[in-house]
Amino acid sequence: MRKQGIPEPLDESLVTRKRKDAPAAAPVEEKKRRRTEKKSVKSVEKPVKKAAGGKKERSKPVKKAAPPPSASDDDIEDDEEMDEVDGMDGVNVTGLDALGSASESGDLDADEDDDFMDSEDERPNRKAAMWSDDEDEDDIEEKLTAANIEGLTRKLDMQRAIEEAEAQAELEEAQMQTNIAGDKPKVFEDEEDEGRPITNLGNQDLQLLRTRLNDTIRVLEDFKNLAEEGRSRVDYRNQMMKDICAYYGYSEFLADKLLNLFPPREAFAFFEANETPRPIVIRTNTLRTHRRELAQSLINRGVQLEPIGKWSKVGLQIFESQVPLGATPEYLAGHYILQAASSFLPVMALAPQENERVLDMAAAPGGKTTHIAALMKNTGCVFANDANKDRAKGLIGNIHRLGCKNTIVCNYSALEFPKVMGGFDRVLLDAPCSGTGVIAKDASIKTNKTEADLIKLPHLQKQLILAAIDSVDHASKTGGYIVYSTCSVTVEENEQVVQYALNKRPNVKLVETGLTFGKEGFTRYMGKIFHPSVKMTRRYYPHAYNVDGFFVAKFKKIAPTPPNAVGAQAAATGGKTAPAAQPEEEVVDKTPIVDDEEKEDSDFGGWDDEEDAKYIERAQRKELRRKGKNPKAVLRKAKSSAVPKEQETPEKESKAESKEKNTPEKAPKVNGTAAPEAKKAKKADAKLDAKTAPKTNGVSEKPSQKVSKKERRKSGDAKEKTKAKVK
Ligand X SMILES: C[S@@+](CC[C@H](N)C(=O)[O-])C[C@H]1O[C@@H](n2cnc3c(N)ncnc32)[C@H](O)[C@@H]1O
Catalytic amino acids?
487
Q: Which residue type sits at 644?
A: P
CA diameter of the chain = 112
Task: Name the residue nearer to ligand X (CB basis): 346 or 562.
Answer: 346
Q: Is position 364 an interface residue for ligand X (rule: CB under 6 A)?
A: yes
Residues 6 or more apart in contact with residue 25 via CB below 8 angstroms: 65, 68, 69, 443, 444
Burial class for 129, CB neighbours closer than 10 Å (0-12, 13-18, 19+): exposed
Backbone angles phi, psi at 359, to 5 degrees: -115, 125
Cα separation, 251 vs 263, in Å, equals 20
Nearest-approach distance from CB 127 to ligand X, in angstroms: 32
581 carries a ligand binding annotation: no
Q: Is position 388 an interface residue for ligand X (rule: CB under 6 A)?
A: yes
User: Applying CB under 6 A, which part among 123-131, 375-383, 387-395, 557-565 lies near ligand X?
Assistant: 387-395
Residues 6 or more apart in contact with residue 202 via CB below 8 angstroms: 34
10 Å Cβ neighbour count for 517?
Answer: 16
230 carries a ligand binding annotation: no
Identify the CA nearest to 644 among candidates 545, 574, 558. Answer: 558
518 carries a ligand binding annotation: no
User: Applying CB under 6 A, which part among 30-38, 225-233, 380-388, 518-526 lies near ligand X?
Assistant: 380-388
Task: Name the residue nearer to ligand X (CB basis): 441 or 702.
Answer: 441
Among residues 249, 307, 324, 367, which is the contact residue for ligand X, using CB under 6 A?
A: 367
365 carries a ligand binding annotation: yes
Backbone angles phi, psi at 427, to 5 degrees: -130, 135
Task: Name the residue nearer to ligand X (CB basis): 323 or 460.
Answer: 460
661 carries a ligand binding annotation: no
Cα separation, 139 vs 170, in Å, equals 40
Nearest-approach distance from CB 359 to ligand X, in angstroms: 11
Q: Is position 617 an interface residue for ligand X (rule: CB under 6 A)?
A: no
Identify the CA nearest to 327 among candidates 300, 298, 289, 350. Answer: 298
User: Applying CB under 6 A, which part among 12-20, 248-256, 360-368, 607-615 lies near ligand X?
Assistant: 360-368
Site string for ligand X, 24-63 (x = CB under 6 A): ----------------------------------------
Distance of CA 574 to the CA centre of its chain: 26
Task: Name the residue nearer to ligand X (CB basis): 386 or 617.
Answer: 386
How many chain residues interact with ligand X (CB under 6 A)? 22
Q: Is position 391 an interface residue for ligand X (rule: CB under 6 A)?
A: yes
Query: Is residue 410 within a helix (H) or strand (E), and if so which, with residue range?
Result: strand 407-410
Q: Are 513 and 553 in contact (CB under 8 A)?
A: yes
Task: Name the residue nearer to ligand X (CB basis): 364 or 678.
Answer: 364
Residues 6 or more apart in contact with residue 689 via CB below 8 angstroms: 566
Q: Is position 414 an interface residue for ligand X (rule: CB under 6 A)?
A: yes
694 carries a ligand binding annotation: no
Among residues 80, 104, 243, 492, which is the contact residue for ligand X, using CB under 6 A?
A: 80
Residues 6 or more apart in contact with residue 439 via CB below 8 angstroms: 66, 274, 445, 446, 549
106 carries a ligand binding annotation: no
Q: Is position 518 an interface residue for ligand X (rule: CB under 6 A)?
A: no
Cα separation, 121 vs 648, in Å, equals 67
Q: Is position 340 an interface residue for ligand X (rule: CB under 6 A)?
A: no
Q: Is position 386 an interface residue for ligand X (rule: CB under 6 A)?
A: yes
Cα separation, 567 vs 552, in Å, equals 23
Backbone angles phi, psi at 155, to 5 degrees: -60, -40
Site string for ligand X, 137-156 (x = CB under 6 A): --------------------
Task: Name the residue nearer to ligand X (CB basis): 340 or 588.
Answer: 340
366 carries a ligand binding annotation: yes
Q: Is position 365 an interface residue for ligand X (rule: CB under 6 A)?
A: yes
Residues shown for the chain = 727
Q: Is position 373 an interface residue for ligand X (rule: CB under 6 A)?
A: no
Site residues, ligand X (CB under 6 A):
76, 78, 80, 343, 361-368, 385-388, 391, 413-415, 430, 432
Q: State the binding site.
A: 362-368, 386, 430
Annotated binding-site residues for S-adenosyl-L-methionine read 362-368, 386, 430
